[in-house]
Structure 1
Amino acid sequence: MLKRWGLPLILAGMAVIGLWAFLGRPIDLPPAPEPKLHCVSYTPFRGDQTPYDRSLVIPAAQIAEDLDLLKPITDCVRIYATDQGLDQVVPLAADRGMQVLLGIWIGSEPAIFEPQIVKAIALAKAYPQAIKAIIVGNEVLLRGEQSGETLAALVTRVREATGLPVTYADVWGFWQKAPQSLVDAVDFMTIHILPYWEDDPAPSTMTVPHLEYVLGEMGRQFPGKRLMIGETGWPSAGRAREDAIPSIVDQARYLRDFLVYAKAHALDYNFIEAFDQPWKRAQEGAVGGYWGLFDGNRHAKFDWFKPVSNHPDWPLLAALSILLGLATLAVARPAVGDWRAAVAPTIVAMAGGFLMMLQAERAYLIYVTPTDLAVELGLLAQSFAVLLFTLRGQTDLGTAPLAAATRWLIALDTRPVPVATLLRLTILVGAATVAVALAFDSRYRGFPIATYAVPAASFLLLQWQTGAILRPIVDGREERILSLILIGCALFIAWFEGPLNWQALAFCALLLIFAFNMIGAWRRPVRGLSVVPAA
């Protein structure tokens, strides 16, 4: 056995290690000019804590622990509300010689935000030295929950009650549409500049040109009005938007380039954000939960001065990938005569292990609820099953018509259907469902490339082995419907996302592979040419 499998396993294992070493290689970036931020957004929620749980009050000890962790990198935190225990941030920050950008959350219902205004005024009177400014409302105009005139009145009320600098915060484009009364009411304009979320997204390498453009536009429209950047930052995980790619390296690059520019131009700013917030993934997809400089476990994601890796734990990931590949070989037990015959199944198993590890990593990043986790584990099991059937040469997985499976599922046919055929139907329907969701509601949805890479490659391999790629399929109604959905969605997604989004293009390529796998359904049988039976 060692003679048959030893050399192929060694070579394939080295290839897997090489792939992970490449993905995890440290990237040299210009160092940050200084180890401190002017201010950083702070929301204290951890784990399954969420602001939507109105009964939740964050313990003071939890906030104190966070502030002690943030003190070395900033002397200021921005908070967005004064309820759920957030009012405790002000005295705790004062005890540590820190300041607070004190936010009042303004929504659509005065009965809810009025107590926050009262609380903020009381905090301002009790701890005036600890409050850098008061921010009355965050992106209220963007959400359409109050008018600019109403916000102007609230800003004026808070300033008169506290005597402290007061502002309002929103995306820079909404400031451009704000009424003059709001512009006049604030002591300075707090603008949000988030290149990733722009209508025309900018990559992390375009930090300086984008900042210069926005600040130039705001300066021309509001001459003489002081500006503060209230939010700027970059996500470390999630879907790409054109060539704006979330990653740890891109986040570190944005931070460092921004700090160089901010220092050179004496900008006042607040960076978003201190800690990853898992609850935001339910609102904004995976990307919403990964804007923190620290992860949800309060570990720094990268060093501000040294090279940065997207996969600093790549040796562990490589080892797990190899173990997954070995597990599929051990369960499948493909029969081979010598080491040459063992090369192909070894490559398939190790490539599958590598892709499943990428899939597991993505599942960890995107799941929110236990149901989400169960779905992701089910998809991992699906990939594992596909590998087993492929290694065993079970051609039903890549070639069986879908009619028999659909008739069995709706109880029109009681004859047994191979598990591989049902798995094939499940995969194709699942891919079509994801494709439709991305075509109609893509903003917060990611591209499950690794999830469908194993099935797509396996279908092609099995069809090629049996010579069934162009073979006509009798009664291929299901295949024709699914292939139309897959091709239509692939073309629309590629057009909508644009040619710069490699994640979208890669997923569209997988959809087209699935559609190509069913091309035989569009060919009429010709005399003398064998066909794949419907059942």
Structure 2
Amino acid sequence: MKIKEQLNIEPGKAICYSGFREGQSPESGIFPSYEQIKEDLLILHGHWKYLRLYDCDKHTDIVLEVIQNENLDFKVMLGAYIGAEMNNFGCPWGGFYSEEELAENKAKNLNQIKKLIQLANEYPDIIFSLSAGNEALVHWTDHYVPIQDVIKYVRLIKMGTKQPVTFCENYVPWQEKLHELVEEVDFISIHTYPVWEYKNIHEALEYTKQNYYSVADRYPHKPVVITEAGWATNSNGRGIDPHNVSEDLQAIYFEDLMSWTDEEEILTFYFEAFDESWKGSNEPLEPEKHWGLFTIDRKPKQVMQELFATKK
């Protein structure tokens, strides 16, 4: 089922956006300024139609203000960030919390959902779809939320808004364990990262297709969107062989992915616009820091250099 046919959402160029620069992070509470976000959005404007935002925080508030105030032609998929409501001992990097922390997270999650609903109604011409969370149901997550709670959040959002509602998750859980959630959302949102699964560039597009169709063919009555797919440009070896990532390889995957998804009219959010140094470990080559099409100082990587040749 195509998203255009069921929800009247036109396919178009889409990208995941987070504007945190050096020394900024959601964890520290140091956010990009209005002018910094305006600079970012002017870089992206005219090249991407859709932006995906992950959290209902100060960063999102400013992004929406900039789009509205500067009259920029963007449509936003806005997500609520929901934290752990249950311990996940299967998480390799720590998914254990005290009972007090889990209770606090539940309260914060409900506030996130309420803020999502508020923003959706405040910016109905900008926000075109809503996500009840991100990667909170996959077996390795450090912020696990039981599926019944996710369903509760989806229902709350649908009761309070008019935009289509989804949940963004790795493709694997959608294959089997999320069939109840499928019937609650308006469309399915999957993440696919061949390079995290030890695939080389020659296998990458075919593997992405397999991931997509393993979900789309299982639920033909629901549109399926790719809300994350990308290729890192550096690695310290944690989870990704350093020889399997580079700007050359990112350019190949980007072009292959865009060609296929354009042809098949699959709305696909490329991950991501800009490198983010706050992510992952403190090691400079940590792969989590290096997924952007642009460096953290807003210079185009190889894949963008021809398109942005006239940009200073």
* TM-score of the two chains, using structure 1 as the length reference: 0.48
Q: 1:299, 1:78 → 2: CA distance?
A: 21
C-alpha displacement of 1:208 = 2.5
1:43 aligns with 2:18: yes
CA, structure 1 residues 149+86, in 2 after alignment: closer, same or farther (shift >3 Å)? same
**Which has the higher Rg, Structure 1 or Structure 2?**
1
Match of 2:34 in 1: 60
1:164 maps to a residue whose letter is: Q
- State the one-letter code of the partner of 1:85: H
- Check conservation: 1:48, 1:279, Cα contact below 8 A: yes
**Structure 1 contact 101–135 (Cα < 8 Å) conserved:** yes
Task: Quote the offset at 1:267 in angstroms.
Answer: 1.0
| Structure 2 equivalent of residue 136 of structure 1 | 132
Residue pair 2:293, 2:304 contacting (<8 A) in 1 also: no
Instruction: Give the secondary-structure state (helix, strand or coil) at the position aligned to 1:277.
Output: coil
Q: Is the 8 A contact 1:155 1:167 kept in 2?
A: yes
1-side partners of 2:154 and 2:130: how far apart?
A: 9
In the other structure, the counterpart of 1:480 is none
- Give yes or no for the alignment of 1:205 onto 2:202: yes
Q: 1:80-100 deviations in whole A, cap 9, x for unaligned?
A: 001133222123224212111
Q: How does 1:166-177 map to 2 (within 5 A)?
A: 166-177=165-176
Of Structure 1 and Structure 2, the greater strand share is in: 2
Q: Say yes or no: does 1:295 pair with 2:260.
A: no
Q: CA deviation at 1:206?
A: 2.2
The reply to whether residue 223 of structure 1 matches residue 245 of structure 2 is: no
Aligned-residue offset at 1:125: 0.9
Q: Deviations over 1:394-435 (max 9, x none)?
A: xxxxxxxxxxxxxxxxxxxxxxxxxxxxxxxxxxxxxxxxxx
| C-alpha contact 2:228 2:270 (8 A) present in aligned 1 | yes
> CA shift at 1:115, angstroms?
2.4
Offset at 1:243? 8.9
Match of 2:76 among 97, 100, 111: 100
Question: Cα distance 1:205–1:72, how it changes in 2: closer, same or farther (>3 A)?
Answer: farther
Q: Which runs of 4+ in 1 moved over 3 A?
A: 239-244, 303-307
Deviation (angstroms), 1:59: 2.1
After superposition, the C-alpha distances for 1:467-509 in whole angstroms (9 at most, x for unaligned) are: xxxxxxxxxxxxxxxxxxxxxxxxxxxxxxxxxxxxxxxxxxx
2:250 is aligned to 251
Distance in structure 1 (CA, Å) of the matches to 2:234 and 2:213: 30
Residue 177 of structure 2 aligns to a residue whose secondary structure is coil
Quote the offset at 1:197 in angstroms.
1.3
1:244 to 1:98, Cα distance in 2 relative to 1, 3 A: same
CA distance in structure 2 between the partners assigned to 1:264 and 1:112 by the alignment: 41
Hey, what's the Cα distance between the residues in 1 that align with 2:275 and 2:41?
15
Alpha-carbon displacement from aligned partner over 1:231-263 (angstroms, at most 9, x marks no partner): 001001114636971100000111011111111
In structure 2, do the counterparts of structure 1 residues 243 and 47 end up closer, same or farther at CA, with 3 Å as the change threshold?
closer
Q: Do structure 1's residue 83 and structure 2's residue 57 form an aligned pair? A: yes
Contact (CA 8 Å) 1:207, 1:258: kept in 2 or not?
A: no
Contact 2:250 2:303 (8 Å CA) reproduced: no
Contact (CA 8 Å) 1:203, 1:244: kept in 2 or not?
Answer: no
One-letter amino acid of the structure 2 residue matched with residue 90 of structure 1: L
CA distance in 2, matches of 1:306, 1:120: 37
Alpha-carbon separation, structure 1, partners of 2:108 and 2:289: 26
Aligned with 2:225: secondary structure? strand
- Normalization by structure 2: what TM-score? 0.80
Whether the 8 Å CA contact 2:190–2:224 is kept in 1: the answer is: yes
Distance across 2 between alignment mates of 1:178 and 1:91: 38
| Whole-angstrom distance in 1 between the partners of 2:303 and 2:241 | 27
> In structure 2, what is the Cα distance between the partners aligned to 1:254 and 1:171?
19
Distance in 1 (CA, whole Å) between partners of 2:156 and 2:294 is 36
* Alpha-carbon contact 1:203-1:243 (below 8 Å) kept: no
Superposed displacement of residue 303, structure 1? 4.4
- Give the alignment partner of residue 70 of structure 1, picking from 37, 41, 44: 44
Q: Residue 91 of structure 1 contacts residue 127 of structure 1 at CA under 8 Å; is this kept in 2?
A: no
Q: Which amino acid aligns with 1:247?
A: S
Q: Distance in 2 between matches of 1:163 and 1:211?
A: 31
More helix by share: 1
Query: In the aligned structure 2, how far is the partner of 1:208 from the partner of 1:40?
Result: 18
Q: Give the counterpart letter for 1:104 in structure 2.
A: A
Compute the RMSD of aligned alpha carbons.
Answer: 2.2
Distance 1:179 1:271 in 2: 23
Report the identity percentage. Answer: 28
Taking the aligned partners of 2:256 and 2:114, their CA distance within structure 1 comes to: 39
- Mapped to 1, the partners of 2:277 and 2:231 lie a distance apart of 16
Number of aligned positions between the proteins: 269
Answer yes or no: is the 8 Å Cα contact 2:247–2:303 preserved in 1: no
Judge conservation of contact 2:293–2:303 (CA < 8 Å) in 1: no
Distance 1:192 1:283, change over 3 A: farther
Q: Is 2:166 aligned against 1:191?
A: no
* Contact preservation (8 Å) 2:235, 2:245: yes
> Hey, what's the Cα distance between the residues in 1 that align with 2:43 and 2:232?
20
Q: How far did residue 279 of structure 1 move?
A: 0.8
Which runs of structure 2 are paired with 1:336-375 in the superposition (5 Å)?
Answer: none
Cα distance in 2 between the residues matched to 1:304 and 1:52: 30
d(CA) in 1 for partners of 2:295 and 2:48? 17
Q: C-alpha displacement at 1:64, in angstroms?
A: 1.4
Q: Relative CO higher for 1 or 2, CA cutoff 8 Å, sep ≥ 6?
A: 2
